[in-house]
Amino acid sequence: MKNAYVDSSCFVAIALGEPGYRDLLSLLSRFDRLLSSNLLEAELRSALAREAAPGTIKNLVAWVSWIYPARRLTPEFGQVLEIGTVKGADLWHLACALSLRTTMGPISFLTLDNGQGDIARALGFPGL
């Protein structure tokens, strides 16, 4: 089973119809399961409100299996921050993905954020 943790940036690009969003949709369809923290929904709703973009996110978020860590992610935060600094939301997404990898095995990390993507690759995640 091919699993991918998806950062909010991917769904924001799709929802706003940014250049390349069709290729991104095609890429996402290659995975059996897309996972993310429900922070993705908050960030997506915020971006749509900020851009005054009409429409619903219901179909987009239906693709996602939500993860809710049952413990503090302090060890994963440390792993990420040993490599570099990121914004708090990016740190949360990366730490959530790291916590999944320990139970699920190989998982890709999909993001359009170059800095976050660099750190994800340094952590050993395949990416876009």
Tell me which DSSP letter residue 99 carries: H
pLDDT tens for the 128 residues of the chain, in order: 799 999 999 999 998 889 999 999 999 999 999 999 999 999 998 888 888 776 667 677 888 999 999 999 999 999 999 999 999 999 999 999 999 988 888 999 999 999 999 999 999 998 76
Domains, in order of start, for the chain: 3-122 (3.40.50.1010)
How far apart (Å, rounded) are the C-alpha atoms in residues 120 and 18? 23
Tell me which DSSP letter residue 35 carries: E
Three-point CA angle 11, 1, 40, nearest 5°: 20
Map tokens 């708090």 to a residue: 88
